[in-house]
Amino acid sequence: MDIKLDPSRDDLPLMANTSHILVKHYVLDLDVDFESQIIEGTIVLFFESGNKFKKQSSSTEETYPSESNEACKFRMPEPCHIPVTNTRTVSSKVGYNDFVICGKGEKDTSGKDGNHDNQEQASGISSSKYCCDTGNHGSEDFLLVLDCCDLSVLKVEEVDVAAVPGIEKFTRSPKLRNQIVRELVALPADRWREQLDYYARCSQAPGCGELLFDIDTWSLQIRKTGVQTATDFPHAIRIQYTTKPQGRSVTWTSDQSGRPCVYTMGSPINNRALFPCQEPPVAMSTWQATVRAAASFVVLMSGENSAKPTQLREGCSSWHYYVTMPMPASTFTIAVGSWTEVKPEICSSNDLATERSFSPFEADFRYVGGCGHMEYPCRFQNASATTQEIIPHRVFAPVCLKGACQETLLPLIPPCLSAAHSVLGTHPFSRLDVLIVPANFPSLGMASPHLVFLSQSTLTGMSQFCGTRLCHEIAHAWFGLAIGARDWTEEWLSEGFATHLEDVFWAKAQQLAPHEAQEQRELRACLRWRRLQDEVRNSPEDMQVLRPNKEKTGHVSDSGSSVIKHGLNPDKVFMQVHYLKGYFLLRFLARRLGDDTYFSFLRKFVHTFHGQLILSQDFLQMLLESIPEERRLELSVENIFQDWLESSGIPQPLQRERLAGAECGLVRQVSAEVAKWVRVNRRPRKRKRKETEEVLEKLLPDQLVLLLEHLLEQRTMNPRTLQRLERTYHLSEQDAEVRHRWCELVVKHKYTEAYRNVERFLQEDQAMGIYLYGELMVSEDARQQHLARRCFELSKEQMDRSSAEVVAEMLY
């Protein structure tokens, strides 16, 4: 990266000029080279432009002022073919040096990271510096701006789609390239197979002219000389490029069995360091990808099909995936590694019948109600799919975790999928792969279309921790993917819903009686209330606001560019405020309306808005309009904005609720156990013979978490008490959430006998261990500080980059 960002204030720029021209489909053709740690190949982009982009006589003013176009020097690239010197690489493509090709007579100013340096940008991000002016200004050429970072772009060319054999079958203008693409992207949903086939054929068509391009820190800018409007700009272009080993969209590492792997890890910069794209969520597109890797590797990807490898030549295989539901490019996910598919030891015929896969269009396809999204093969329109409780699913993991997955994860997927269907209805996606990712994965889970990543931390202890996390990621299929936020600052629309729904799904998956389900939900609400209070005390006020742009939420420049507030702030990765405040808002609404009314509405909302992008007001307005005015109880969109979404701190309605609410039975049981442990801790080493032994109750994992949190509030706890505590509940064998609190207790009271538990946690539960490093250092205990530094030295090379930077700042 060629600029230093201020981690306390930097926003993430979205540079693509999506108001002028939109990518409708991507075709990726890639080779994965583990020797060089790069992904190289081509991407073909198919565009659609609107009527508003026809040539205008007057200039288009931008919402944000921009740098003069004179600052952008465009080059006609001359490809330099460099012979491949490493014969062990899997790639069949010609190799290239890691630099941006410059025109004849011009100096390569790319620097070692391949980006053209712009010294003005070194001062940080601002709307004036990072939102390019791409409108029409008299005789100036139209400028296509794509989001791009940490990539070496080698060549950009127009694709001659008119040269594709048979293209005349579905176009009225077989010689007009842009018209061919317009008609291709506009094919009706029931011709999706034909459409994908022609996308693939067009992507392999010859080039018909190289295009001028330049690249800066955050974008790739492309022109065609003499083309002044988006309508006339080539609607199919091919970009040849390579990623970089240090690129921030993918992580090259080793799995738990020590084998190399690479995966997208949900980077703050999304996928722009994996392929040039349009990042703004409004740029909803479909994609297909062919990925080649050594035959020993498995390629998993966001795709509707369960891809199988095709043997190309000795030692090399090819994998092909596709998606027909338009979604933002940020949701594209890939993982390549020596994964093992984990299969159940016994598979019943009933399971097979329930999980039968449905193609987007089958003989029994019939409309069951209109959809509001753009046309695509929608499962909500497929009568068979709407009744499918359990979609086909697979589990992949490193070979060393196969047994743990068979025991813990695999049995949970069918009941969790069935529970989700019972609450929300039709599964938006036709299948699901679940991958246990390497230990350096920086969170507990991540959902993308057809593919969920789970941390290895979810596999320890009882099934609850794994089950609730799985339910959270399954919920994202509806909220976060099928229904996305139009403005990424409104994360609560994804995370708040998933957090609220995980409890509902999990209770149904366990088939709990209503009273038991309510008790468990209240216990988890108590835990989240404590975390929210802690978060509010220890985070900047401006990062506690769920709708920071207020009335400007969803606004972009005339070109479509914008910035995501706090998008590059590393502290934001570790914050839970959007999860917690969003959860409590939805819980407040459900309690106010009643569960039956609320979840009935939620199903209606999902049916109305799936396949679309929303803002907070879309949800709230529809919710309030769905209930009679006399039952709204003074609720209004404006009040909810003011109390919950546009204020920092604890919302007033939530404070009143928590003060008035009585403790549930499970919480009262924990309070009684805390009192027992306080008495145990106060007893002298030599007790009187008549004293009775405390009878300790068995506790659920969430109760154990709450117990340990209360004990953390005790000023002192002696080693004898801590030893008994560990033995009573077998704390080192519990799930990661319980073990995390146990480690905090060990650190606070310098219980040296259990330092091995802390070391294990820092190594194996990296997604949750960041704050433990801080607590080890804050203690100013030499032994604890040495432990922290030793663990970091052992894991820093494999650790997620952002996490490693945060920990290094704590330690040194």
User: What residues form DSSP beta bridges with 222?
Assistant: 144, 213
Angstrom distances, CA of residue 305 to CA of 17, 298, 300, 451, 785? 31, 14, 10, 11, 49
For Cα atoms 270, 326, 328, give the angle at the middle one, nearest 5 degrees.
Answer: 15
Residue 767 has pLDDT above 60, yes or no: yes
pLDDT digits (tens, 9 = 90+) for 683-742: 887 665 556 677 889 999 999 999 999 999 999 999 999 999 999 999 999 999 999 999
pLDDT digits (tens, 9 = 90+) for 586-595: 999 999 999 9
Angstrom distances, CA of residue 252 to CA of 4, 131, 262, 317, 336? 23, 31, 4, 20, 10
Predicted pLDDT of residue 9: 58
Task: Give the position of tokens 């190949």.
Answer: 41
Higher pLDDT, 132 or 626: 626
Written as six digits, the tokens of 180 are 């061919």
H-assigned helices in 594-664: 595-609, 616-625, 637-640, 652-660
Predicted pLDDT of residue 634: 79
- Mean pLDDT of the region 458-467: 95
> How far, in Å, CA of 300 to CA of 452, rounded?
10
User: What residues form DSSP beta bridges with 260?
Assistant: 254
Can you say how many angstroms the Cα of residue 323 is from the centroid of all Cα atoms in its chain?
17
> How far, in Å, CA of 613 to CA of 626, rounded?
20
Angstrom distances, CA of residue 731 to CA of 704, 758, 767? 9, 12, 19
Catalytic residue status for 473: yes
Strands (E), 471-550: 483-485
**Exposed, middle or buried: residue 650 (CB in 10 Å: 0-12, 13-18, 19+)?**
middle
Predicted pLDDT of residue 686: 64
Side-by-side strand order, sheet with 151-159: 207-210, 151-159, 236-243, 38-49, 21-33, 284-294, 316-328, 310-313
Q: Which of 473, 490, 495, 737 is catalytic?
A: 473
Mean pLDDT of the chain: 85
Count of C-beta atoms within a 10 Å radius of residue 610? 23
> How far, in Å, CA of 17 to CA of 145, rounded?
6
> What are the backbone dihedrals phi and psi of residue 13, each rounded to the nearest 5 degrees, phi first?
-80, 135
> What are the backbone dihedrals phi and psi of residue 288, each rounded to the nearest 5 degrees, phi first?
-145, 150
Q: How confident is the model at residue 798 (pLDDT cuts 50, 70, 90)?
A: confident
Please name the helix (run of DSSP H) or strand (run of DSSP E) that holds residue 811, with its range, or none: helix 801-811
Predicted pLDDT of residue 168: 82
DSSP state of 75: B
Predicted pLDDT of residue 690: 56
DSSP state of 235: S
Q: Please, are residues 717 and 753 in contact by the beta-carbon 8 Å criterion?
A: no
Q: How confident is the model at residue 307 (pLDDT cuts 50, 70, 90)?
A: very high
Count of C-beta atoms within a 10 Å radius of residue 343? 13
Count of C-beta atoms within a 10 Å radius of residue 427? 23
Predicted pLDDT of residue 688: 58
- Mean pLDDT of the region 772-791: 94
DSSP state of 124: -
Count of C-beta atoms within a 10 Å radius of residue 83? 6
Weakest-pLDDT range from 97-111, 222-236, 686-700: 97-111
Predicted pLDDT of residue 687: 60
Give exposure, 142-180, as e/b (b: 16+ Cβ within 10 Å).
Answer: bbbbbbbbbbbbbbbbbbbbbebeebeeebeebeebbbb
Residue 130 has pLDDT above 80, yes or no: no
> How far, in Å, CA of 763 to CA of 71, rounded?
48
pLDDT digits (tens, 9 = 90+) for 516-574: 999 999 999 999 999 999 999 999 999 999 999 999 999 989 999 998 888 888 778 78
Angstrom distances, CA of residue 381 to CA of 238, 349, 372, 484, 693? 34, 27, 12, 20, 64
> What are the backbone dihedrals phi and psi of residue 24, each rounded to the nearest 5 degrees, phi first?
-105, -25
> How far, in Å, CA of 633 to CA of 339, rounded?
53
The 3-state DSSP class for residue 397 equals: strand
Q: Please, are residues 449 and 325 in contact by the beta-carbon 8 Å criterion?
A: yes
Predicted pLDDT of residue 578: 95
- Mean pLDDT of the region 281-285: 95
> How far, in Å, CA of 521 to CA of 667, rounded?
11
Q: Please, are residues 613 and 284 in contact by the beta-carbon 8 Å criterion?
A: yes
Q: Please, are residues 114 and 242 in contact by the beta-carbon 8 Å criterion?
A: no
Nearest Cα residue to 377 out of 605, 188, 184: 188
> How far, in Å, CA of 502 to CA of 483, rounded?
17
Angle, to 10 degrees, between the axis of helix 177-185 and the axis of helix 192-203?
150
The identity of residue 651, as a single letter, is P
Nearest Cα residue to 240 out of 101, 116, 86: 101
pLDDT digits (tens, 9 = 90+) for 145-158: 999 999 999 999 99
Q: How confident is the model at residue 139 (pLDDT cuts 50, 70, 90)?
A: low
Strands (E), 403-449: 432-436, 445-448
User: What residues form DSSP beta bridges with 29?
Assistant: 42, 290
The alpha carbon dihedral of 377, 382, 386, 391 has a sign of negative
For the chain, percent of residues with pLDDT exceeding 90: 73
Q: What is the CA radius of gyration of the chain?
A: 28
The identity of residue 87, as a single letter, is T
Please name the helix (run of DSSP H) or strand (run of DSSP E) that holds residue 760, with its range, or none: helix 755-764
Residue 132 has pLDDT above 60, yes or no: no
pLDDT digits (tens, 9 = 90+) for 14-68: 999 999 999 999 999 999 999 999 999 999 999 998 644 333 333 333 333 333 3
The 3-state DSSP class for residue 355 equals: coil
DSSP state of 581: H
Written as six digits, the tokens of 37 are 């740690």
Predicted pLDDT of residue 474: 98
Nearest Cα residue to 256 out of 766, 771, 807: 766
Count of C-beta atoms within a 10 Å radius of residue 435? 24
- Mean pLDDT of the region 80-89: 32
Residue 484 has pLDDT above 50, yes or no: yes
> How far, in Å, CA of 489 to CA of 563, rounded?
10
Q: Which residues have C-beta within 8 Å of that of residue 330, sequence separation ≥ 6?
A: 270, 271, 279, 281
pLDDT digits (tens, 9 = 90+) for 715-732: 999 999 999 999 999 999
